[in-house]
Amino acid sequence: MKPYDYHVFVCTCPTCSKKEAESILLAFRQKVEKRGLLDKVKVTRTGCLSSGECMYGPLVVVYPQGVWYRLVTANEVDEIVEKHLAGGQLVSKLLHFKLS
Amino acid sequence: MKPYDYHVFVCTCPTCSKKEAESILLAFRQKVEKRGLLDKVKVTRTGCLSSGECMYGPLVVVYPQGVWYRLVTANEVDEIVEKHLAGGQLVSKLLHFKLS
């Protein structure tokens, strides 16, 4: 396995999927590929990421940094990919929690 | 959301599920609870963690440390919980990859 910079987990639990979880997952996969980041970024579907927190979902968590985003829509995936995954900066307006 | 120490992701893709992925996921949830680690450890089910790597599975990855374990069986979950999640030490014999 080769080193990578980011592992993005997209919650597709029933609560998050009632909103746009599936579109968000697809958008991440498409944008990461389009932006040429496949070697640096993994994108993975998950079951419920955090019991009790998905009311704020759809939730997305980026490791190893431990950055949780909430209320993500497919339209905002571009910004997370461009600013965070390509540029290394948090998207503050979508921040839910950051592991210290 | 409260801080936590470990987020364990268990791959339950078709390849990993042909082996013991579902039993491993259940074992992690049971052992983490039994060991009183629910406040410190999250356990989440995932789709395919890493295309091409699941031939070495079942795969388990622990973040934010970026420690990947492979060939995990339900019998070995106790050791990962006790040594790594409770004790903070890697289980070297199951190590697949460590993100630097």
pLDDT at residue B35, rounded to an integer: 97
pLDDT at residue A37, rounded to an integer: 98
Min Cα distance A7 → chain B (Å) is: 9
pLDDT at residue A100, rounded to an integer: 85
* Dist CA B8 CA B20 (whole Å): 16
Instruction: Mark yes or no for CB contact A63/B3 under 8 Å.
Output: no
Place of tokens 């697809």: A26
From first to last of its 100 residues, chain A has per-residue pLDDT tens of 999 999 999 999 999 999 999 999 999 999 999 999 999 999 999 999 987 888 888 999 999 999 999 988 998 999 999 999 999 999 999 999 999 8
| Residue of A2, A4, A7 for testing the chain B interface, max B β-carbons within 10 Å | A7
Q: Is B100 on the interface with A (CB under 8 A)?
A: yes
In terms of DSSP bridges, do strands A41-46 and A6-11 run parallel, antiparallel, or are they unpaired? parallel
SS3 readout for B14-55: HHHHCCCHHHHHHHHHHHHHHCCCCCCEEEEEECCCCCCCHH
pLDDT at residue A71, rounded to an integer: 84
Distances (CA, A) of A48 to A9, A17, A34, A51, A62: 11, 10, 28, 7, 15
Q: Which of A74, A49, A47 is nearest to A61 (CA)?
A: A49
Which residue numbers in chain B have pLDDT < 50? Answer: none
- The answer to whether the predicted template modeling score (pTM) of the entire model surpasses 0.90 is yes
* Dist CA B50 CA B54 (whole Å): 7
* Dist CA B59 CA A36 (whole Å): 26
Which residues pair with residue A100 across a beta bridge?
none
pLDDT at residue B100, rounded to an integer: 85
Quote the ipTM score: 0.95
pLDDT at residue B51, rounded to an integer: 75
Q: Sheet containing A95-98: which strands, arranged edge to edge?
A: A95-98, A67-69, A60-63, A6-11, A41-46, B41-46, B6-11, B60-63, B67-69, B95-98
pLDDT at residue B37, rounded to an integer: 98
